Amino acid sequence: MIFLYIILGFLLLVALGIIIASFIPFKLKRSFTPNPAKSYADAIERIATIRAEEAGPDLHPLCVTRAYTHGERVKDAIVFLHGFTACPDQFDQLGRLYFERGYNVYIPRLPRHGDTDPLGISLQGLTAEELAESATQAADIAQGLGERVLVCGLSGGGTMTLWLSQNRSDVAVAALIAPFLGIGMIPPFVSRALGHLPRLIPDFFVWWDPINKVNNPFAAPYSDTRFPVHAALEILRLSLSAQGQGRKTRPAAGSIVMISNANDKTVNNRDIASFTNIWKTYGDDLVTAFEFEKSLGLPHDLIRPTRTDARTDIVYPKLMELVG
């Protein structure tokens, strides 16, 4: 009986800790000052510097930062921010379609991503601040590529786009695809509490596919087949920080497109819908919301065309209709 009381007391303390932690606000540890490219030449020079820094045997050849440009600043430039444990190749085909329509296209590699080692070791130490800095840099470069800047991100890249939505008035359109606003199948207050865990527990790795592990059949040649939990929770911390801003102030971006996938089990669609409604309180014309139907059976990564379950014949035309 005493043992039962101890267990119940422990569980009560855990529940109380989760409730308290869910009310602790999130904020980044430093601020980020925009430094927009002053010209097309300036933007191209910055991209060349980034590519030079990426050069080395540890980076997968498909994961270099990419830019498809028309040799001058054009009317529209679009930035694609890839997902967690992916790399720029994820958006390459979609980016080329936009290029063919006259856009200048920029697809940066996110911090610590794209290593040739599939075990995700390079992702250890990733922080919300690094992601915010990377998003800031991408938005800065895009200013030199187009008169109007669009930013489109998937999953973790969608979280970065969320943060830009709140903080960059020079982003004309921010499109969030299945953004990581909360962990799938977990109540929002628990997700908020988990965002504080990197400060409290040691880091550890989780396999995307616990059964097949490194032989995950859905992994791209460049994908990390596992990830450090702290890195994922740092993306969540960036998301929760931006969501905190959104509950207090109108987004800085000109307009927002929120795209969800009803078949998605990785991110929490309830959190996406709830926060979309918060944004809509700032004006009905601010946010366009769209959800792909569950019957389509789309995976969380609905962008990469080489997946065996890809439906880019449906997804790409709809994205280009919504984001453009």
State the CB neighbour count (10 A cutoff) for residue 115. Answer: 18
Q: Do residues 128 and 27 make contact, with C-beta atoms less than 8 angstroms apart?
A: no
Comparison of pLDDT for 27 and 149, the residue scoring more: 149
Q: What is the percent of the chain where pLDDT is above 70? A: 92
Q: What DSSP character marks residue 309?
A: T
Judged by phi (left if over 0) then psi (alpha if -120 to 50, else beta), residue 213 lies in left
pLDDT tens profile 167-217 = 999 999 999 999 999 887 788 767 777 877 777 889 999 999 999 999 999
Q: What is the mean pLDDT of residues 10-14?
A: 34
* Tokens 């059976």 belong to residue: 297
Say what the pLDDT of residue 26 is.
65
pLDDT tens profile 104-147 = 999 999 999 999 999 999 999 999 999 999 999 999 999 999 99
| 219, two tokens | 């992994």
The yes-or-no verdict on residue 24 having pLDDT over 60 is: no
Q: Where are the alpha helices (DSSP H) in the chain?
A: 2-22, 40-54, 92-100, 128-143, 156-167, 188-194, 229-246, 269-280, 312-322
Which domains can be identified in the chain, with CATH numbers? Answer: 37-322 (3.40.50.1820)
The yes-or-no verdict on residue 148 having pLDDT over 60 is: yes
Q: What is the mean pLDDT of residues 277-299?
A: 96
Q: How confident is the model at residue 15 (pLDDT cuts 50, 70, 90)?
A: very low
> 13-27, 207-221, 308-322: which has the minimum mean pLDDT?
13-27
> 71-75, 89-93, 218-222: which has the minimum mean pLDDT?
218-222
Q: What DSSP character marks residue 110?
A: P
Instruction: Give CA–CA dist 263/272, Å, rounded.
Output: 14
Instruction: Give CA–CA dist 145/134, Å, rounded.
Output: 17
Say what the pLDDT of residue 6 is.
42
pLDDT tens profile 265-283 = 999 999 999 999 999 999 9
Say what the pLDDT of residue 94 is.
98
State the first-to-last Cα distance of the chain, in angstroms, to the nearest integer: 65
The yes-or-no verdict on residue 63 having pLDDT over 80 is: yes
| Per-residue CA distances from 111 to 7, 42, 59, 92, 187 (Å) | 42, 22, 12, 18, 29
235 Cβ neighbours under 8 A, 6+ residues apart: 84, 126, 128, 131, 156, 159, 180
Say what the pLDDT of residue 2 is.
53
Helix (H) or strand (E) holding 107: strand 104-107
Instruction: Give CA–CA dist 229/21, Å, rounded.
Output: 18
* Dihedral angle of Cα 94, 99, 101, 102, to the nearest 10 degrees: 150
